[in-house]
Structure 1
Amino acid sequence: MLDHLIENATVVDGTGTSARTADVGILDGRIAVIGKVSEAARTREDASGLVLAPGFVDPHTHYDAQLFWDPYATPSLQHGVTTVVAGNCGFTLAPLRPEDAGYTRRMMAKVEGMSLAALEQGAPWTWRGFGEYLDALEGRIAVNAGFMVGHCALRRYVMGPDAIGGQPSDAQLASMVGLLHEAMDAGAWGFSTTQSSTHSDGDGHPVASRHARPDELLALSRAVGEHEGTQIEAIVAGCLDRFADAEIELLAELSATAGRPLNWNVLTIDAAVPERVPRQLLASERARKAGGRVVALTMPVLAPMNMSLGTFCALNLIPGWGPVLGLPVPERIRRLADPAVREELLRHARSEEAGVFRRLTDFGRYVIGDTYSERNAGLTGRVVRDIAAERGQDPFGCLVEICTADELRTVLWPMPTDNDPASWALRAETWRHEDVLLGGSDAGAHLDRMCGAPYTTRFLGDCLRGRGLVGLEQAVKMLTDDPARLFGLRERGRIQEGFHADLVLFDPERIDAGPATLVHDLPGDSPRLDSRALGVRAVWVNGVEAVREDAVTGAVPGKVLRSGRDTRTVATK
């Protein structure tokens, strides 16, 4: 007898082949039968008119901490994501010395925008080794989760405070390599690192991995190649804009040295900068020639990130802006009121050195979000350009005046500059490249600034009822089988007999994501942005119903996926 039978579904199996109407039976956590099924089942449902797809795989999340207080990885699970990849960008919670827990929490709060109160109150912090960290999650999560080992954690564990600014001795490098081996023996998926100039710790210093030289990175990558089913994830300064020649060579060499795929985040596609995509994909071309594979992650939807002059955000990363926006609020307000200071900030923002952050400099296109003063009543939802015209001000001066009235608490939403037909046509073309993969949600990070987790349902809705840049079968493949194959997931990513029953049932006429709304449901009453899943009837993880009509069921059927056992090695060529 089957555990559950889904009847008359439009099955889109993840391989890209045409949809077909079929019944799908689940038994003992796996897909037992596909076709016209007459076998008895404990429960059954009619899925006529609904699409049944494999569970979606999100290749870039930061759920490392959130899974402790939110085993459902919301809102990803409601949006059909059944497997998440975490431990990215060089940031993990293990290995960890007890005396470094405070530093790690403050670093994660700064660099990944996590709530410090939630980190302090929501996770147990009882582990030391990476295996202990994985064991702490085993049996209590609703999604499948795989974890990379973060370079910053390795360095801090071995070098202590000297990890910031220091270089390891031969013995210390050997210890780091040994720790990485131990972590991968315990099931870590591989190694992640960052060299990005935007990543600083809670003290404002460049994070530990940014001080690593190529020989250290290569030694750690070599260790990755000694374990089954492993990967590398790397961030360099040029990821957000354009790689330097040395970065292209480094990414290719790391992958070729390990003999493993390397992915990076995120490929920004904008028709106004047509040279960016071919430049970034040179890393993939160079890697293939060297015997490796470098894969670019890119988002298939626009996931705006809000800003604020009162708290750390992307505006702080514009060259020349950090010293002003890092001042105490009263002094910050005083400096911003000076027209000469504002002019200097604009000069920096529009210079070549600002790189991709120039996208944020058209302040007239900003939309006012939440406000906190009587003077700003009625401004929420309005565009700064219109307000500035009414007041006879320049847009940036107008924006500063609005924020000052709220003591810089005003929420600002920059309107995307790359939402034009030419940029969407370029995206559709780029998605067809063999070394481009959809993903990069950052789910679990920057919780009060952005909500990238719903990209799966929003993308499908756009494919079915919007731009239609990709057909349904191909869109599902891009969200399921493609990432499953990159990470070597064993028997996941497709609707196939014998595969794990990770499934999403949705209404093709309704599938979409609701608007992002601010909720206060983190430990310590901290805020985050959330988004409802529209049109998702149900989600199964390992054959167990985890979501029904946008609500979690309370079941925790997810597994900690471990390298070797749950992932296999993928050829780089």
Structure 2
Amino acid sequence: MHDLLLRDGTVHDGLGGPPRTADVAITGSRVTAVGRGLGPARRVIDVSGLVVAPGFVDPHSHSDTVPFLDEPQPFKLFQGVTTEIVGNCGFSCGPTDPLTSGFMPSLLSSHEFRAFGDYLDAAEAAGPSNNLAVLVGHNTLRLAASGMSAEITPEQLAHMCELAAQSFEAGAAGLSSGLEYVPGAYANVDELVALALVGKRWGLPYATHMRSESEGLADALDEAITVARRAGVRLQVSHCKASGRAVHGASAMVLDKLAGARRAGVDVRADVYPYLAFGTGLVAVLPPAACEGGTEALMARLADPAERAALRALAESPDTGTGVGIWRELHPADVQILTHTGPGVAGKRLSDLGGDPWETLCELVRLDPQASGVFHTMHESDLRAFLADPLVSVGSDGGPPIGPNHPRTFGAFPVYLGEYVTEEEMPEAIRKVSSAAAAQFGLEGRGWLAPGAIADVVVLDRDRIGHAGTYEEPDVRPTGVGHVFLAGHQVIADGEFTGGRHGRILRRGAR
């Protein structure tokens, strides 16, 4: 007898096959049968008229510290996401060195671990609400080996590789980089290849927030493909975008390069979130040279008018993929302040604050180096092109569900399925957010719906799926996801969270 029968649903296998009306039987943690006449079950849920699919995989999120929050956090489960890949953009919670850990982003700084495996143990003990697979970050490795120095010695690179190997042995799912952020921005291709080659020993992918997503986009993408080709590893291009008016329309170039690399033998995929604005720290707008030496050095530079002028000249120079910051792509009205310690600043546009925009930005960062913003820089035609491409899945790029936030944290997957996918496109859309993403990160047993698969399952209403969150009010419950199961355990029932922490830390190599 089966434990559970989902009866009369429109079943998608997650592999792109046509949907069929069928029952799905679950026993224990596995799917045991899909079809008709499957026999009795201890429990039956009528899902007629609803889509039954594998649980969604978010290949790019920043939920690293979510397990440590006091209460269980179902914000991804409400979207149908059962597994997230964290440790993205070059930053992970370990391995760290006490002498340089102060340079870690505030998002992670309260949960830093000397060894990567210590983080995995602590997150598992705390209890994730959905599954997490974790990348080790290049920025974090570099901080541990050489701090905020732009230069790196052969001995320090060897230490980075040793730390990476220890992280992969502990269960890291791959390597990530964030080359628009320091100290990762100081790295050259040889350094990145050396680390990716360590991951190759375990067959692990390389995920990259590229060096430029604006004027230097083409060169940055070439660099990412070069790293993957030279190391012989799978490549995940994070949060695809053509950011800034100068590169609107460049999605065709990006997709052509991705397809060309794949034809040439590079196993490359990408992800994108279904929004026209990105979010990051205001400090990322400055050239990487501003941050060399750490926070104190940055504050000194921003307090010196001559240094500000020199940085401005660098920021306004053409970006050829070498990493001079993202200032050139921005208009003051594009920049919406999300968090800042100054009174009356959060929620304003840079253009609202008056004065010379560059001087205003420098002063905002000087007063609060952890300030963040939302940047309205993308074009709808590029977004639609990325979302439609078979090599591009959906990644939220969302962080913990606390404080001022971006709506992608709470609604990326419902927005994609509700606003950008037609009925005829559903099989392919579900493939991209399930099996395609799961395979890229080696998630065995997940991302497909057939006998033997792990019973991570989502049941959704195709007519109701969506999210009404905005940049001003992002934390809105999405609609349309009725039931979610994690390894056979029901965590969302009739749209409501059932409680508890039933996710797992998915360590590489662990069954």
User: Normalising by the residue count of structure 1, what TM-score does the alignment of the two structures yield?
Assistant: 0.71
Q: For residue 443 of structure 1, report the CA deviation from its aligned partner.
A: 3.3
- State the secondary structure of the residue aligned to 1:31: strand
Say if 2:65 is the partner of 1:108: no
C-alpha contact 1:255 1:261 (8 A) present in aligned 2: yes
1:138 to 120, 124, 137: 124
Which amino acid counterpart does residue 84 of structure 2 have in structure 1?
V
CA deviation map 1:521-561 (0-9, x unaligned)? xxxxxxxx523121211211111112234443223222222
* Pairwise CA RMSD: 4.5
Correspondence 1:284-363 to 2 at 5 A: 284=258, 287-288=261-262, 291-302=265-276, 305=279, 313=282, 316-317=285-286, 360-361=330-331, 363=333
C-alpha contact 1:63 1:73 (8 A) present in aligned 2: no
Say if 2:178 is the partner of 1:194: yes
C-alpha contact 1:75 1:530 (8 A) present in aligned 2: no
C-alpha contact 2:120 2:505 (8 A) present in aligned 1: yes
2:152 to 163, 167, 170: 167
C-alpha contact 1:62 1:445 (8 A) present in aligned 2: no
Query: Which residue does 1:500 correspond to in 2?
Result: 454
Which amino acid counterpart does residue 261 of structure 1 have in structure 2?
R
Q: Distance in 1 between matches of 2:208 and 2:340?
A: 38
Correspondence 1:64-463 to 2 at 5 A: 64-69=64-69, 72-97=72-97, 99-100=98-99, 103-104=100-101, 107-109=104-106, 114=107, 120=110, 123=111, 125=112, 127-138=113-124, 140-157=127-144, 159-161=145-147, 163-170=148-155, 172-196=156-180, 199=181, 206-207=182-183, 209-228=184-203, 230-243=204-217, 245=219, 247-269=220-242, 273=247, 276-281=250-255, 283-284=257-258, 287-288=261-262, 291-302=265-276, 305=279, 313=282, 316-317=285-286, 360-361=330-331, 363=333, 418-419=379-380, 423=381, 426-444=382-400, 448-453=404-409, 454-463=411-420
Which amino acid counterpart does residue 186 of structure 2 have in structure 1?
H
Which amino acid counterpart does residue 392 of structure 2 have in structure 1?
V
Q: Distance in 1 between matches of 2:401 and 2:149?
A: 23
CA deviation map 1:32-62 (0-9, x unaligned)? 1112245333322211222111111111111
Compared CA separation, residues 416 and 290, structure 1 to 2 (3 A): closer
Q: Distance in 1 between matches of 2:6 and 2:325?
A: 50
C-alpha contact 1:255 1:287 (8 A) present in aligned 2: no
Query: Which residue does 2:469 correspond to in 1?
Result: 515
- State the secondary structure of the residue aligned to 2:379: coil
CA deviation map 1:329-376 (0-9, x unaligned)? xx9xxx9xxxxxxxxx9999998669866664263x88999999xxx9
Query: Which residue does 2:55 correspond to in 1?
Result: 55
Q: How many residues align?
A: 486
Q: Distance in 2 between matches of 1:224 and 1:211?
A: 21
Q: For residue 242 of structure 1, report the CA deviation from its aligned partner.
A: 3.5
C-alpha contact 1:536 1:550 (8 A) present in aligned 2: yes
User: Taking every aligned residue pair, what percent have the same amino acid on both sides?
Assistant: 28
Compared CA separation, residues 504 and 132, structure 1 to 2 (3 A): same
- State the secondary structure of the residue aligned to 1:32: strand
1:563 to 503, 508, 511: 508
Which amino acid counterpart does residue 395 of structure 2 have in structure 1?
G
Which amino acid counterpart does residue 556 of structure 1 have in structure 2?
R
Q: For residue 26 of structure 1, report the CA deviation from its aligned partner.
A: 1.1
Compared CA separation, residues 169 and 242, structure 1 to 2 (3 A): closer
C-alpha contact 1:259 1:291 (8 A) present in aligned 2: no
Q: Distance in 1 between matches of 2:248 and 2:71?
A: 41
Q: Distance in 1 between matches of 2:139 and 2:337?
A: 37
Q: Distance in 2 between matches of 1:471 and 1:37?
A: 29
Q: Distance in 2 between matches of 1:267 and 1:242?
A: 13
Compared CA separation, residues 435 and 6, structure 1 to 2 (3 A): closer
Query: Which residue does 1:342 correspond to in 2?
Result: none
Q: For residue 512 of structure 1, report the CA deviation from its aligned partner.
A: 0.8
Q: For residue 186 of structure 1, report the CA deviation from its aligned partner.
A: 1.7
Query: Which residue does 1:483 correspond to in 2?
Result: 437
CA deviation map 1:350-406 (0-9, x unaligned)? 98669866664263x88999999xxx9xxx999999xx9xxxx99999xx9xxx9xx
Q: Distance in 2 between matches of 1:433 and 1:459?
A: 13
Q: Distance in 2 between matches of 1:346 and 1:175?
A: 35
Bigger Cα Rg: 1
Q: For residue 21 of structure 1, report the CA deviation from its aligned partner.
A: 1.6
Q: Distance in 2 between matches of 1:24 and 1:41?
A: 11
C-alpha contact 1:346 1:361 (8 A) present in aligned 2: no
Say if 2:478 is the partner of 1:533: yes
Compared CA separation, residues 160 and 351, structure 1 to 2 (3 A): closer
CA deviation map 1:105-125 (0-9, x unaligned)? 65212xxxx3x8xx53xx4x5
- State the secondary structure of the residue aligned to 1:510: coil
Q: For residue 96 of structure 1, report the CA deviation from its aligned partner.
A: 2.6
Please list every run of 5 or more consecutive structure 2 residues that lacks an aligned counterpart in the other structure. 292-297, 306-310
- State the secondary structure of the residue aligned to 1:263: strand
C-alpha contact 2:239 2:273 (8 A) present in aligned 1: yes
Which amino acid counterpart does residue 156 of structure 1 have in structure 2?
L
User: Normalising by the residue count of structure 2, what TM-score does the alignment of the two structures yield?
Assistant: 0.79
